[in-house]
Structure 1
Amino acid sequence: MRVLCVAEKPSIAKSIAQILSGGQYNTRNTSSQFIKNYEFDYPQTRSQYTVTAVVGHLMNQDFGSEFKSWNGCDPFSLFEASIEVTVAADKKDIEKNLQQEARRAQTLMIWTDCDREGEHIGYEIFTVCRRANARIAVKRARFSAIIAPQIHNAAQHPVELDMSQVHSVEARIALDLRIGAAFTRLQTLALQNRFGVLKENVVSYGPCQFPTLGFVVARFNQVQAFRPETFWYIYLAVKKREGRGPEKEVVFSWNRGHLFDQNIALLLYQSALARQRGVIVTKVTNKNTEKWKPLPLTTVELQKSGSRLLKLAPKKILDIAEKLYQQGFLSYPRTETDKFDPQFDFMSLVEKQMADPAWGGFARDLHQGAFQRPRNGKNDDHAHPPIHPTAYAGNLTGDDKRVYEYVARRFLACCSKNALGYQTRVEVEYGGEEFHATGLIVLERNYLDVYPYDKWNDNELPNFIEGEEYLPSEVELRDGQTTKPNLLTEADLVNLMDKNGIGTDATIAQHIETIITREYVIERMEGKTKYLVPSSLGIGLIEGYDKIEFEKSLSKPQLRREVIIVFALACEYHD
């Protein structure tokens, strides 16, 4: 039997051929400069394999010629216009190769990425190949990492295409095309006629793009509207000596926090002073405590943590993770799952990390008995495991090395134990007012030894005993001011988009890049932190739509979220 295997990218096709053939394959050039065909026998299924690839989506979705001219139709007619689906002009050579190979194959096996987008690309491949060979059988290979066990298992146990995911992507493409094209034409033409500076600009609109911009503008407006408020609080400190050691000053926090009414704060302060008593220890509580190790890594968490800790743009982080996945160093980097399968083989992956000079010793300890199963999160997309290293990569440099190191350390931290500590809380009373102080002794660092991105430090208190009384070393009524909120960072924006269902784990980064590329948002460095600031155009677009006062705001996430729910129900009904 002759099997035609089609991957989503040329690099993955080569890796699949390398694994399945054991390195013994023949290579043929195609009419596309990017694509090669790899041929070999695969005795496990008694088949002859040809492995080839596409380069992402094959098809274009667009309106017919009568709707191509921006001035030739009412933009709102695009909501009912028919959509034509054709092979993209720059993908004709790839289409030709697929059809030539499909004519001499009995089975088509689709090896695209195992997510919704990959499922839809697989359907496009299926459509092109069926045009050349209507009787070709179609199967789907499912895998989460480009490693030999998973690739062989996928080849020997193929499944069916998931048409519910295909329909879901088709609905989303149609929705985004109609809304995006109609509103982009409408606002571009309207604004170009009024503002000469925009004559050469396309003022684009997107159903995910605008709520993303809306978050940035909303935070900017909060910062601009902020006015600091003065508050007052009682500052209390006590000096205590332990044995023959030096005195240590302990600052106690006022249980009331702070008050915005100066007269009431002054009255409480004077009342406390008038009682002429010392600081009395009313309660000492000691307890064991833990700092939990991190959950297994999802795509959204990788983008948030990478932006915050590594100072890299979310899209760059995903691009690097994708490259490391194609090289066989990481599992599939687009996943919503933060729990590992009960049968997951941790030990073989931990063992591979023992070669590293920085964290190899920690991995060795895990392998020799310190291992503890990772925590289970609440999310499971039933498609891919959490992101984890699949092989040791010792020769990486630059940002590739930093991203790999973060993933590797995160995985080892997940496989370790929680950090253990001993916490002390001392409660005191002074003049009828209550205060407290908290101390910590770290007993076992555990996962913290391999995961420097989390901090948990000793803050040891002197030994206080209930009923003891001390003279305060300081007791003052002090004032302070509320601080304005920060502008959004990319990590903040990723978190807001994820919570509000704007974009997917794989497209969130692209939407952020789009509003920056369109110059709706400008990146501004303050110290070592990069903040997102809306441009005048970005502010004008959001505030303009808000002033129209639609029933559902175009700049808020609710509209997009409700549309996605409707389409999900429609796809479920279709099935």
Structure 2
Amino acid sequence: MEVAFRGVRKVLCVAEKNDAAKGIADLLSKGRMRRREGLSKFNKIYEFDYHLCGQNVTMIMTSVSGHLLAHDFQMQFRKWQSCNPLVLFEAEIEKYCPENFVDIKKTLERETRQCQALVIWTDCDREGENIGFEIIHVCKAVKPSLQVLRARFSEITPRAVTMACENLTQPDQRVSDAVDVRQELDLRIGAAFTRFQTLRLQKIFPQVLAEQLISYGSCQFPTLGFVVERFKAIQAFVPELFHRIKVTHDHRDGVVEFSWKRHRLFNHTACLVLYQLCMEDPRATVVEVSSKAKSKWRPQALDTVELEKLASRKLRISAKETMRIAEKLYTQGYISYPRTETNIFPRDLNLTALVEQQTPDPRWGPFAQSILERGGPTPRNGNKSDQAHPPIHPTKYTNSLQGDEQRLYEFIVRHFLACCSQDAQGQETTVEIDISQERFVAHGLMILARNYLDVYPYDRWSDKTLPVYERGSCFQPSTVEMVDGETSPPQLLTEADLIALMEKHGIGTDATHAEHIETIKARMYVGLTPDKRFLPGHLGMGLVEGYDSMGYEMSKPDLRAELEADLKLICEGRKDKSVVLRQQIQKYKTVFTEAVAKAKKLDEALSQYFGERAEVPQEEAIYPAVPAPVRKCPQCNKDMVLKTKKSGGFYLSCTGFPECRSVMWLPDFVLEACRDESVCPVCQPHPVHRLKLKCKRGSLPPTMPLEFVGCIGGCDETLREILNLRFSQGPPRACPPASQPSGYLQASQSLNRMDSSQHSHPLPPDTRQPRPLKALARNLPPATAAGENDSVVCNCGQEAVLLTVRKEGPNQGRQFYKCPAGSCSFFLWASGSRPDPPSSAPRPPGGSLGRPPGSGNRPGGVGGPGDDSGGGTSCLCSQAAVTRTVQKDGPNKGRQFHTCAKPRAQQCGFFQWVDENVAPGASGAVPWPGGRGFWSRALARRWREHPRAPVHEQESAGQLLRPGVHGQETAEMQPLPPAWTHPPLLSSGQRRVTGRCFYSSLVSRRSCLPRTKRPFTPGSVGRGCVWPACVKESRSDCSSRRPPCAWAPSDHATAEAQELLGSPQRPCSRCGSSCGLRGRRDFSTDILRRRRNAAKWLLL
């Protein structure tokens, strides 16, 4: 040991409770410890210097508060309605640190980093060993090289803790494994049966059990079974009449009553005949007079079960309260460890010193002194030993306790002194008489030495004096009479009786008896009579009778007793942990399956107490199926399952939510999705299941079927691009994927194949360089999915703050969102946002969207004569922008901005503040124009080079998205592939309608912007359709409002039709407007050909 401790300078010591840590540190340091605070205010840190294993080290003593880690199911199984309870027998279980213990865990991690060794000072029982391994797990995760040792002790006294330090051992993994098995089985069995009972019975008896938790436990139910069994025995008891003969003799030294040796007869005639024979000659003859020594045994050494029983009977303190007080007395150093199965004092325990400590007390001190004077303590031992702790005994004298603490401490002291004393001695006299050949007996007692009774008032042994009778003498009895009696039923169980039955049948342990009893009381399964006896309630009776009627005696102790026996074998190393776990799970799973199949018997049993029951719902409705795992999460390696959003879309969610927020969204055009049994042989980590998908018509390339089986693991590049598959940490904000019901245009990564040889308008060479993508996202309001988080996020990615306009003016009192740090120019009106004041130029539907107040295509009040060049900045027309100054009164007065140099009616809509942090001349990425889409020249060039490859680009402003199907067109009117556009900016409260018309494939030869502004000019031909940019003043789903065609600006549709088709569209049959979609049914082949030719600009 000394060799192993070389180089150790600091040793971390961890006790089970703070009081124990404080007491141990105080004893080892001899009162010279230094206290400091830990991260948990309930668990202090005590430092002191100590000579350990031949080394001078600094001991750092701290504590936990019981179990540091807990077992629970993975997140997808924790909700009661998440799965069929049968699944819980196989569901994956994880160990985690509860939130209220995180500070303790952090303290251990912090202190471990500066220590080289760890000594476990938890209680030396099963639970303490398991807590020790939890501490080891946490500490070794921080420092794997940490040396780990175990201190074994049974009391917090100077001698005990010093001996523990001198005899450090290794922790016992087998004992900890037994606790892990018990905890896992209790969780699985309890959760499965509790959910089954509660969910079912709440629906069947809603008037009585709607708010009742109906729990089940493998110890809890046998405990309830003992109470119900005793109650039913009393109910079933039929009293019987019996008869006996009683004889009394009035002696000058007192009245003596003689008992009939036959005791009693149930046959009245037989007893009457014998009585008449006695009455014929009622003279009594003494046939036997005997005397023998009689002893009353002193109590055995005290173990936990006896402490609970005796405290309940003698002190009227419940078992739970008894153990709470005993734990406190132990941590204060007044008694030895109170959780022990041993009733044999070890030979090396110095009992004389313990007795000497009690001599100062005026109540039992003289008796303790008499023990020492008569040769010292001679304890009466039992026959049980757990090889871990001695029997419960006092370790230190105190007279400062109060209340029940003082009463329990006094009981433990008196019991210890009585055990170390002598048995009470007496002389018993027996006189036997004969009357007509019927024998009668009288007993007397003379106490010769009270011994232990002098200090142990909880036992009584009283004298019963008999007169002197001589053998052969005769006397005339005073009375000879025949008396009747009646048998009586057994009494209801007391807490002591119940604990005795639990111990006899192996239900629970000495440490858990009180807990199980309190549970059945808290669940209202049993109640207490005025004399503290257990009486079963209606719910408890119904549950026991229901399960018994199924044929499985779940209220009987057999199943749990087998488990307790197996746990002992694990501790002894005679049985493997995994074998016991597998066998017990299968056993209880079989019982559970049968119980569910015969659940109506449970309903019938309870209906006897609760009245008429409701109709039983289908099992599938009560217990939904658990989603099968599709693949492993790339973040935490837990299962990812396919789920359905409230809005109807699909997504893959990590079962580790909320700790892990990894998610993969499927686009909205996926109508159906389910896991296929086939597994992708390529994707890792294995297995990655394929998905069966059904998509909306027109959402996929013509070469792809609408229903197919595909892999989403990433091996299928085409499918990944078409579905826009990617992992994200929660709902996307700036650019939601198509699976979110946002107003942005949906993503698509496929186009119809076109003949590239039929182009006639080649694109000019691209001379502009890409600009920092951050500029694209300026003032972009956050998009949130329906039913998801709706918080507003600024361009910095932080949650925006909500402010109110205080300055006098038209916007006074209006609320708006702004960047909390002021590091970006984000601005958004909170609700009911109005468009910017109209200027002389017409504006697209929805106004100038997503811009700060005072901005627009050309802000009102700007100066014209003083315009100058934009300093190298290019507008959307690829021409040099001009710089102008805001002249209108307001917060932006005097501020300069760049705008298009063309006349107002022909401007491209470019706008940029001069003082924004954008590099001059970086014109490849223009500031986002309100209400417009955007086509990247770089993407266009890439598309020309790879015409058949889908495009997938992620820019800071969001994904490239396309519109969805606008209407249900006929076969000859199917639209061509849509143009690629960025999601247009919206003002607060507005969403984009996901529409698509027959001209959505048209792309501008220059900037590829959709045409959204008037007046219409011939030069605008081919820029694209306004349909993808229609604005709706609502956040609800577009299909829930009105027909999509009614949202189109009819003037634009008419102008576009005139230019491209040569004649105006006739009015729509649904909305009455010239939308150019619903009402048109006379498209000719020539018109379709002209439309296709125009669309081929995309491939140039």
Normalised-by-shorter TM-score class:
over 0.9
Distance 1:566 1:377 in 2: 24
- Corresponding residue of 1:534: 536
Corresponding residue SS for 2:520: helix
Question: 2:351·2:377 contact (CA, 8 Å) conserved in 1?
Answer: no
1:73 CA displacement: 1.2
Distance 2:49 2:453 in 1: 49
What amino acid is the match of 1:539? M
Does the 8 A contact of 1:164 with 1:572 survive in 2?
no
Give the alignment of 1:380-419 within 5 angstroms.
380-419=385-424
Mapped partners of 1:142, 1:565: distance in 2: 25
Q: Distance in 2 between matches of 1:184 and 1:225?
A: 30
Partners of 1:94 and 1:37 in 2: CA distance: 11
Preserved contact between residue 188 and residue 204 of structure 1 (Cα < 8 Å): yes
Alignment partner of 2:276 out of 245, 270, 274? 270
- Segments of 5+ residues of structure 2 without an aligned counterpart are 1-7, 578-1100
- Mapping 1:293-442, distance limit 5 Å: 293-369=298-374, 371-442=376-447
Task: Give 2:968's aligned residue.
Answer: none
**Deviations 1:290-342 (Å, cap 9, x if unpaired)?**
11110000000000000001011100011111111111111000011111011
Query: Is the aligned partner of 1:517 residue 2:525?
Result: no
Mapped partners of 2:568, 2:299: distance in 1:
31
Is the 8 Å Cα contact of residues 353 and 359 (structure 1) preserved in structure 2? yes
- The match for 2:32 is 24
State which of 32, 39, 63 in structure 1 corresponds to 2:73: 63
Q: Which has the higher contact order (CA 8 A, sep 6+)?
A: 1
Match of 1:206 among 198, 217, 240: 217
Tell me whether 1:48 sits opposite 2:58 in the alignment: yes
Deviation at 1:240, TM superposition (A): 2.5
Rounded Cα–Cα distance in structure 1 between residues aligned with 2:416 and 2:349: 13
Indicate the residue corresponding to 1:547 in structure 2. Answer: 549
Distance change in 2, residues 1:505/1:138 (3 Å): same
1:179 aligned to which of 185, 189, 198: 189
What is the distance in 2 between the residues matched to 1:573 and 1:546?
31
CA distance in 1: counterparts of 2:264 and 2:106, whole angstroms: 72
Residue in 1 aligned with 2:42? 34
- Whether the 8 Å CA contact 1:370–1:416 is kept in 2: the answer is no
Instruction: Report how far residue 567 of structure 1 moved.
Output: 4.2
Residues 449-472 of structure 1: CA deviation (Å, up to 9, x unaligned): 000111111101111111111111
- In structure 1, the partner of 2:465 is 460
Give the letter for the 1:9 counterpart.
Answer: K
Distance 2:177 2:457 in 1: 44
SS in structure 1 at match of 2:359: helix
Does 2:102 align with 1:92?
yes
Query: Could you say which residue in structure 1 is the equivalent of 2:1000?
Result: none
Which structure 1 residue ranges, 5 or more long, are not aligned? 242-246
Q: Match for residue 190 of structure 1? A: 200
Q: Which has the larger radius of gyration?
A: 2
- In the alignment, the residues of structure 2 paired with residue 277 and residue 111 of structure 1 have an alpha-carbon distance, to the nearest angstrom, of 76
CA distance, structure 2, for counterparts of residue 469 and residue 108 of structure 1: 83
Task: Give the number of the structure whose residues are more often helix, by fraction.
Answer: 1
For 1:562, the equivalent position in structure 2 comes to: 562
Amino acid at match of 1:419: A
| Matched position secondary structure for 2:400 | coil
Query: What's the CA shift string for 1:11-51, capped at 9, x where partnerless?
Result: 11111111111111221211111111111110354221000
TM-superposed CA distance for 1:199, in Å, is: 1.4
Structure 2 equivalent of residue 572 of structure 1: 574
1:87: how far off? 1.6
Shift in Å, 1:562 = 1.5
2:15 is aligned with 1:7: yes
Partner of 1:280: 285
Q: What is the aligned partner in structure 1 of residue 85 from structure 2?
A: 75
Identify the range of structure 1 (160-169 vs 366-375) with the bigger mean alpha-carbon deviation: 366-375
1:256 to 256, 262, 274: 262
Amino acid at match of 1:250: V
Matched residue SS, 2:324: helix
Counterpart residue type for residue 554 of structure 1: M
**1:277 Cα deviation from its structure 2 partner:** 4.9
State TM-score, norm by structure 1. Answer: 0.96
- Does the aligned pair in 1 maintain the 2:337–2:389 contact within 8 Å? yes
Q: 8 Å contact 2:248–2:255 — kept in the other structure?
A: yes
Residue of structure 1 in register with 2:962 after alignment = none
**How is 1:88-127 mapped onto 2 (pairs within 5 angstroms)?**
88-127=98-137
Q: Which amino acid is the alignment partner of residue 223 of structure 1?
A: I
Matching residue within 151, 154, 163 for 2:173:
163
Equivalent pair of 1:209/1:511 in contact (CA under 8 Å)? yes
Q: Which moved more, 1:223-232 or 1:158-167?
A: 223-232
After superposition, the C-alpha distances for 1:53-98 in whole angstroms (9 at most, x for unaligned) are 0010011111112212222211111111111111222211111111
1:372 CA displacement:
4.1
AA paired with 2:224? L
CA distance in structure 2 between the partners assigned to 1:205 and 1:455 by the alignment: 42
Structure 1 residue 140 and structure 2 residue 150: aligned? Answer: yes
Q: Contact 1:339–1:376 at 8 Å: present in 2 too?
A: yes
Matches of 1:556 and 1:573, distance apart in 2: 25
Match of 1:244 in 2: none
Deviation larger for 65-74 or 414-423: 65-74
In the alignment, residue 556 of structure 2 is paired with which amino acid?
Answer: K
- In 1, the alpha carbon distance for the partners of 2:389 and 2:251 equals 56
Q: Could you list the per-position Cα deviations for residues 412-434 of structure 1 after superposition, in whole angstroms to 9, with x for gaps in the alignment? A: 00111110101111111111111
Alpha carbons 1:372, 1:415 under 8 Å: kept:
yes
One-letter identity of the residue aligned with 1:204: S
Contact 1:416 1:447 (C-alpha < 8 Å) held by counterparts: yes
Residues 134-168 of structure 1, C-alpha deviation per residue, up to 9 Å, x if partnerless? Answer: 01111000111111100111112111111111111
- C-alpha contact (below 8 Å) 1:253/1:437 kept by paired residues: yes
Q: Distance in 1 between matches of 2:420 and 2:318?
A: 28
* C-alpha RMSD of the superposition: 1.2
* 1:123/1:114 CA distance change after superposition, 3 Å: same
Q: Is the 8 A contact 2:352 2:377 kept in 1?
A: no
Tell me, what secondary structure is at the counterpart of 1:283? strand
- Asked if 2 retains the 8 angstrom alpha-carbon contact of 1:99 and 1:129, the reply is yes
Cα contact 2:301–2:344 (8 A) shared by 1: yes
Q: Which residue identity does 2:551 align to in structure 1?
A: E
Q: Is this contact kept in 2: 1:236–1:251, CA < 8 A?
A: yes
Q: How many residues get paired?
A: 564
Query: Is the CA contact 2:342–2:384 (under 8 Å) kept in the aligned structure 1?
Result: yes
1:472 aligned onto 2:477: yes
C-alpha distance in structure 2 between counterparts of 1:354 and 1:569, whole Å: 44
SS at match of 1:572: coil
C-alpha separation in 2, matches of 1:555 and 1:9: 35
What corresponds to 2:454 in structure 1? 449
Give yes or no for contact 1:322–1:333 (8 Å, CA) kept in 2. yes
Q: What is the SS of the residue equivalent to 1:427? A: strand
Matched, 1:222 2:261: no
Tell me, in whole angstroms, the C-alpha distance in 2 between the residues paired with 1:308 and 1:435: 35
Query: Normalised by the size of structure 2, how large is the TM-score?
Result: 0.51
User: What SS does structure 2 have at the residue aligned with 1:354?
Assistant: coil
After superposition, the Cα gap between the structure-2 partners of 1:353 and 1:144, relative to the gap in structure 1 and judged at 3 Å, is: same
